[in-house]
Structure 1
Amino acid sequence: MLSIRNIVKEYAKHRALDDVSLEVEKGTIFGLLGPNGAGKTSLIRIINQITGPDAGEIFFNGEKLNQSHIGKIGYLPEERGLYKKMEIGDQMLYLAQLKGLSRADATKRIKYWFEKMDMQDWWKKKVEDLSKGMQQKVQFVATVLHEPELIILDEPFSGFDPVNAEIITNEILELNQKGSTIIFSTHRMESVEQLCNHIALIHKSHKILDGSVKDIKNSYRNNTYKVGLNKELSQADFQTAELISTNANDENYNHTLKLREGFSTNNLLQEIIPLANLNHLEEIVPTINEIFIQKVKN
């Protein structure tokens, strides 16, 4: 759906994006990750045609990005853009009509979303009278009212309590199931694991990681396992693995082990079974958060 090719963006003497290329496939939830100042927002603003690149180009469904695509994109900015003294219903109507909906269609969709998000009595309220979480709900509805093909969410969970965060998570998944492609920019790595099919990590204006969540996590596997036994073993008991740590609880002695080169889990089990009762064995796969920290620190 979205092909981002060799994008460069500079502000005065600062290069915010340096030769960044990404491919966002139709129907995916694409995680755009990076620490503050990495260049994520600069890229999002270019996709939304708020600013232009200094070099490179972007294609939307095979066409070079142009103004006709604006109505096909829904954008939830990190810095929210609601009119604080305007009534919510009027504001939704105004924003929906900017995206090309008729007043009748806009009214119908607003009523649908207000009921869906338990906002039925908000029509006459003003933004300044709402909590930050309530404002977030309004902004989210404004983003998706026109049923965009591409939805860009920049820190969508900011200000939400866990209950409302779960509601928005479910809405994102439902929108994706109905065909929307979603670019999801966040610092909440647990959300990335839950939602995203594909991620890219931008750091200091460069793309440093790009791929499916599954493939990236698999590439960082390092043959480390947690083994629960009914008794404590020492390094002397293991020839197939390095003993990293042991933690005890009421039911287990949990041993963290890293297989030595040339050995398999079968070899490890053959070594353990004569010595202790095995309660569980699980591979320790790095989380996206752990991979993120590792890549940014390097």
Structure 2
Amino acid sequence: MGLSIRNVNKSYMGNLVVRDLSMEVEQGSIFGFLGPNGAGKTTTMRMILDLIRPDTGEITWNGQSVQILDRQFWGYLPEERGLYPKMTVEDQLLFLTQLYGIPKRKVLQEIDHWLQYLQISAYRKRQVREMSKGNQQKVQFLATILHDPDVLIMDEPFSGLDPVNIDLLKSAFLELHQRGKTIIFSTHQMQQVEELCQHVMIINQGCSIISGEIQHVKRSTGRKVLRLAQEHDREIYWLDKMSGIQITKRRQDYVEMVLPAHIHPDEILEEALNRGGQITRFELAEPSLHDIFIEKVAGISQPDNLLADVTIGKEG
């Protein structure tokens, strides 16, 4: 049991932004909700929270309509920051949690834990406007979780964070997961989804285009990619002379390719050995979630050598 969305439709001024959408999120799981700008992710999240209501279809949690659930049940982190810039961090967090009727003493214990966890204890008595955007994002995250909701719905939670703070937030996700929380989040950073999520859905133009367990989604492409790195030949141009091989990425640390059916990976390994130089990477794997996203959303079945440089922007 968990969250169930069945045949949901939502229109704005005659424009259908969510189209017959159905999805299931298991209780206690971490779920990645993906899609390009304007795909309908934020609208769907707001319908789950009952901030807006679908035109048709139903949204339930363990068989109950989300419309009858208490607000404390949900924790919502919107993409836009909703903090009071002139309030101190502590006063802000106390104010927002006391709106849910949480005793101050209990909240202070949690504030102590999480400020230290996210390495922002030094800002406790400082105004929010004095903090960097990344640290403000961490305060926004705390405002989402301190009232102890059962389900966390987060729209671009990693926005504005540097790699160190991304790792901190991922660690926080895992702690909350261990506490039994259900986490649904959207992001354009596919690596975070691959590392954290058990299940994923990609939507485009309001419709589901692929969903399921991460490994199932990867295997559904029906193909493998081979990644090769050789010490003396960083770009391995001899591959270009082998018939049927399609190079999909040339990076500083490896070359990635898709092999035709008539070429076995062992043939590539043998050719690399014959050419000398230590082989530092030889890996046969499913396509990355990033590549699947590009394929499904943009219709690019086999990305070219520039795929690694594609940057997907934030949802508008």
User: Shorter-normalised TM-score: what interval?
Assistant: 0.7 to 0.9
**Residue of structure 1 in register with 2:71 after alignment:** 70
Structure-2 change in CA distance of 1:246 and 1:275 (3 Å): farther
Whole-Å separation in 2 of the counterparts to 1:274 and 1:77: 52
Q: 1:206 to 1:256 in 2, by over 3 A?
A: closer
Residue 143 of structure 1, CA deviation? 0.8
3-state SS in 2 of match to 1:160? coil
Q: CA, structure 1 residues 272+26, in 2 after alignment: closer, same or farther (shift >3 Å)? A: same
Residue 120 of structure 2: aligned partner: 119
Hey, what does 1:39 align to over in structure 2? 40
Shift of 1:210: 0.7
Q: Identify the range of structure 1 (58-67 vs 184-193) with the bigger mean alpha-carbon deviation.
A: 58-67
Quickly say closer, same or farther: Cα 1:19–1:137, change in 2 above 3 A.
same
Paired residues of 1:242 and 1:259 also in contact (CA < 8 A): yes
Cα shift readout 1:201-245 (whole Å, capped 9, x = no counterpart): 110111111111111111224244346689987799x7xx83335
Aligned to 2:95: 94
Alignment pair present for 1:133 and 2:134:
yes
Change (3 A) 1:75 1:276: same
TM-score between the two structures when normalised by the length of structure 1: 0.85
Listed as ranges, the gaps of 5+ residues in structure 1 are none
Equivalent position of 2:314 in the other structure: none
Aligned-residue Cα RMSD (Å) equals 3.1
Q: CA deviation at 1:121?
A: 3.6
- 1:101-156: CA deviations, max 9, x gaps? 12222222222222322333433322222221121111111111122221111111
Quote the residue 1:242 is aligned against.
Answer: 244
* Equivalent position of 1:161 in the other structure: 162
Are the aligned partners of 2:248 and 2:258 in contact in 1 as well (CA < 8 Å)?
A: no
Q: Cα 1:43–1:2, aligned 2, differ >3 Å: closer, same or farther?
A: same
Q: Work out the CA distance in 2 between the residues paired with 1:247 and 1:28.
A: 33
Cα deviations by residue, 1:165-198 (Å, 9 ceiling, x for unpaired):
1111111122112211110100111111111111
Change in Cα spacing, 1:275 to 1:85, as seen in structure 2 (3 Å) is closer
- Once the two structures are TM-superposed, the CA of residue 296 in structure 1 deviates from its matched residue by 0.7
CA gap of 1:113–1:37, structure 2 versus 1, over 3 A, is same
Structure 1 residues 120-129 or 275-284, which shifts more? 275-284
1:256 to 1:45, Cα distance in 2 relative to 1, 3 A: closer
Cross-structure match for 1:206: 207
For the pair shown, the structure with the greater C-alpha radius of gyration is: 1
Q: Post-superposition shift, 1:265?
A: 5.1
* 8 Å contact kept, 1:244–1:257: yes
Q: Against the structure 1 CA distance between its residues 143 and 272, is the aligned structure 2 distance closer, same or farther, given a 3 Å change threshold? A: same
Higher mean alpha-carbon deviation, 20-29 vs 274-283, is at 274-283
2: CA distance, partners of 1:282 / 1:113: 39
| Count of residue pairs brought into register by the alignment | 291
Query: CA 1:242–1:226 in 2, change beyond 3 Å: closer, same or farther?
Result: farther
- Per-residue CA deviation, residues 68-108 of structure 1 (Å, 9 max, x unaligned), is 34211111110111122223222211211223312222222
Q: Which runs of 5+ in 2 are unaligned?
A: 300-316
Distance 1:19 1:111, change over 3 A: same
Query: Measured at CA, do residues 69 and 2 of structure 1 come closer, stay the same or move farther in structure 2, by a change above 3 Å?
Result: farther
Query: 2:124, 2:228 → 1: CA distance?
Result: 56
TM-score, length-scaled by structure 2:
0.80
In structure 1, the residue matched to 2:197 is 196
Structure 2 Cα separation of the partners of residues 34 and 274 of structure 1: 42
State the SS of the aligned residue for 2:173: helix
> What amino acid is the match of 1:44?
M
Q: Does the CA contact (< 8 Å) of 1:71 and 1:100 recur in 2?
A: no
Label 1:247 to 1:219 Cα distance change in 2 as closer, same or farther (>3 A). Answer: closer
Paired with 1:112 and 1:270, the residues of 2 have a C-alpha distance of 51
